Amino acid sequence: MELALFTATSFLVGLSGALAPGPMLSVTISDSVEKGFIAGPLIVSGHIISEIVLVILLFAGLGWLVGSAPAAFIIGVVGGLVLIVMGLQMVKSKLSFKARAGDVNLKSKSRSIFEGILSSISNPYFFIWWATIGGAFLFQGVALAGLVGISGFLIGHWSSDLLWYSTVSFLSSRGSRTMNPHTHRNILKVCGCFLVIIGAYFIINALKISF
């Protein structure tokens, strides 16, 4: 019962983080309009890959590095620049049609997974969350039931990401069925502008912290 409650709590905490607007949300919406529902789970897969690497680093004793001021500065500046480039690419995109589910090839799927990784590691708050809240839950899981406790936390956390972004992807892809090319381009531009704004915010915030 205690383990089930811990997993449920991990799900709710993860969901509260997933619901916050960020780079991954913008990427999910734009990708889902183009590729359909499959984009959401693929992007979450990339996000999970990033988190697995980060969990390994935390257990390797590098939690202090993940949450350090120098790391936050570097991630903020580099991540911000990456998001700005991604955003500008969306704004300038000439694509004006929605790819059908059958047209989403292996290369397209791999790109969505890569975008999930990129939109995660370019966000400094992703690392801050794991160095604080995520790390606390991980070690609480260890104290509760060892490897089983860790699994409970990760299952709850990843389920929240998958549920939310799959929902966003489903709604975006459903709406795109009746969407004309002009509306499609506008959505890409809005998502791109959002990424540019977030990227600029990350860079400004990183500079403020360092100085």
pTM: 0.87
pLDDT digits (tens, 9 = 90+) for 29-59: 989 888 888 999 999 999 999 999 999 988 8
All structural domains of the chain with their residue ranges:
2-210
- Residues with Cβ within 8 Å of 50's Cβ and at least 6 positions away in sequence, in order, are 116, 117, 120, 121, 126
pLDDT digits (tens, 9 = 90+) for 158-186: 999 999 999 999 998 887 666 667 777 88
Cα-Cα-Cα-Cα dihedral of 181, 182, 185, 187, to 10°? -110
